[in-house]
Every structure is written in structure tokens, then in C-alpha cells.
Amino acid sequence: MVVNMKKLEIPDEIEKEMRKKGGWSSIKKNLPLKEIKEVEKVMKVLSYDTRLRIIYALSEQRMCVCMLMELTGCSYSKCSYHLSKLKEAGLIKATRKGNYLIYSLTPFGRSIVRHFRKYKPEVKNE
Amino acid sequence: MVVNMKKLEIPDEIEKEMRKKGGWSSIKKNLPLKEIKEVEKVMKVLSYDTRLRIIYALSEQRMCVCMLMELTGCSYSKCSYHLSKLKEAGLIKATRKGNYLIYSLTPFGRSIVRHFRKYKPEVKNE
DNA sequence: TCATCATTTCAAATTTTTTTGAAATATTAT
DNA sequence: ATAATATTTCAAAAAAATTTGAAATGATGA
């Protein structure tokens, strides 16, 4: 087969910069693919408005689904869908209280929210 | 119209908890919607494998597109698409060097990557 | 000027994610 | 039991994001 094999032409200037770092192959090898996969999973869940509202809200106060519905403006099933995503990711958990399911952050969720909220993008422009 | 107006039934136990915090209305009012929108934007961009690889790589070394292609296993146009997303979000920038476009992190990008890499989910389970 | 190289852009095809609404569950109250 | 409430689940529809490949762009070198 061997189609598409045109090999990498790295510009000199960059080639040179990389030498100090062990060269291209070393840089390639050091990409933390596993960490990236993990980060991706959490980020995916946290990259949606409704779900962010939910965890921000839960970081203040545990709540039943009907409260989250009102807070997010979602229907039950929609809310439920997003809650399931957050739960899958280990960010929230539910406990039953009579007829209600009360959602709250897990310690993992709590640590993530704390971490992300701390971040303030002061440096936004160049 | 006034359809669907069944109003919130908050379970007593939770109602009580909330009193100390100014009650439901106060909790609702304090959801930082603007912050959430901002966070969402950045998260969306960082919630994709290829793009995470790119910024992790760029945090080590500035690179031209052909290097990123090789690193991510993407075609030019695919790479380009993801680069444009990262650029839009203000995370990376490009400078031309002859025939090459050399991409690197912006200060904003750098601060975000640093921040996110620091995070290690030790508390993952319950 | 013409060809080549590195890259972007565009529109169509594909894939992934979210929304919707109806039906299913589980718990409590009657 | 039966009905009511709070919620989930499911499958189909809709929307959003990604992939693909071909054509465009812009710099360089012959």
C-alpha cells in the first residue's frame, strides 16, 4: 500500500529548538495520551450550559430534580438526561428521600467544581 | 395560556436547609450565569481529543501544522478545523515563517493548560 | 510567470449529542 | 388495590459538531 507516506519536513528553526528537548521523537513519545483521554471525558460533561448550571447549583445546595428543572428551565426528561451524564462521570450522586431523588455533588465533583471555579481568565487577550 | 404552571414543591428538609442560605430565590439569583457561559465556551473547545493533544503538544513546543498532523493523525483540513476552534477561543495563535504557519499557545492558552494539567482527580470514587 | 509547497476554506456527508414526548418505575397516600 | 407524585427510560426527531475531499490562497523558488 504505502500511499500517503510523504514524511515530515520540520522547519530548521524548530528542529533546532527541539534538540534541547530530546528531538521530535521524544516530544511525540511524551504526549500523555492517557491523561488526555481522562481530561476529555470530564471536559465533555462540563462543556454544556445546563450541566454546568446543575453542578454550580449543587455546589451551593443539594436539590431534587424538580428544583433543578426550575433552575435550568428543562423538562423532566431533559434534566434527567443531563443528570445521567453528570452521574456517569462521577460528578454527582442521588439519594432517595421518599418520593424525591435528592442530587448532590460527589467529593470528586466537589473538587472539580472548586478547581474550575477558581479559574479566572484574566489573561484573555494575547 | 398559563399551561404547565404547577409550581415547585420543595421537600421540607431541603426547604429548611436553604433558609440559612437566603432561601430558594436567593440561591436562584446567585447562579453565575455569565461565568457559566464563559466556562462553557472554553470547555467545549477543550472537550475533544484532537484539540487536547494539540494544546498539550504546543505547551511543550511551537509547531507547524504538518507536525501537528503527524502528532494527531489528522489530515490537513481536519487539523485546520481544530486549530481554528482553538484559535477562536483565544488559546493558540499562528505566525508565518516562510511557507509554514507556526502555532503556539497564547498566554491565555498557556495559563489554561497549566491550570488543567495541574488537576489530578485523586478523589474519583465516592 | 509557473509550479510547488503548506495550509485554509467550503459544502456535503457522517457522526455525535441533545431534545421531545410517551410509556415505564418506584414510592407514598388513599 | 388504586391513584398520585417524582422521576427515569426509550426511541424517534432535531440540532450540533466533525470529517472528507476538492478547490482556493499565499509564499517561495525556478
Task: Give the per-residue pLDDT at A66.
Answer: 97
CA distance linking residue A96 with residue A111, whole number of Å = 23
- Lay out the sheet containing B92-97: strands in order across: B63-64, B100-105, B92-97
pLDDT at A7: 73
How close A112 comes to chain B (CA, Å)?
Answer: 8
pLDDT at B124: 43
Q: Residue A120's pLDDT band (boundaries 50, 70, 90)? A: low
- How do residues A21-64 score in pLDDT, each as one tens digit? 999 999 999 999 999 999 999 999 999 999 999 999 999 999 99
| Nearest nucleotide over every DNA/RNA strand to the B100 CA, judged by C1' | C6
Instruction: Indicate if the pLDDT at residue B36 is higher than 90.
Output: yes
Q: Average the pLDDT over each of A106-110, B34-38, B43-47, B112-116 and give the range with the smallest value.
A: B112-116
Residue A36 CA and nucleotide C23 C1' are separated, in Å, by 40
How does the average pLDDT of chain B come out, rounded? 90
The grid coordinates listed for A61 are 445546595
Write the pLDDT tens digit of every residue in A74-116: 999 999 999 999 999 999 999 999 999 999 999 999 998 888 7
d(CA B78, CA B65): 11
Query: Chain B: nearest CA to A90, how far in angstroms?
Result: 7
Q: Which residue is closest to B63 within chain A, CA to CA?
A: A14
* A21 contact residues in B (CB cutoff 8 A): 60-61
pLDDT tops 80 at residue B49: yes
Dihedral of the alpha carbons of A58, A63, A65, A66, in degrees to the nearest 10: -120
| C1' (D19) to CA (B39) span, angstroms | 26
The nucleotide whose C1' lies nearest the CA of B6 is D5
Q: Which of A24, A52, A103, A110 to mutate to test the interface with B (most CBs of B within 10 A)?
A: A52
All structural domains of chain B: 37-118 (1.10.10.10)
Task: Kindly tell me if the per-residue pLDDT of A121 is higher than 70.
Answer: no
pLDDT at residue A47 in the model = 97
Mapped onto helix, strand or coil, the DSSP state of residue B54 is helix
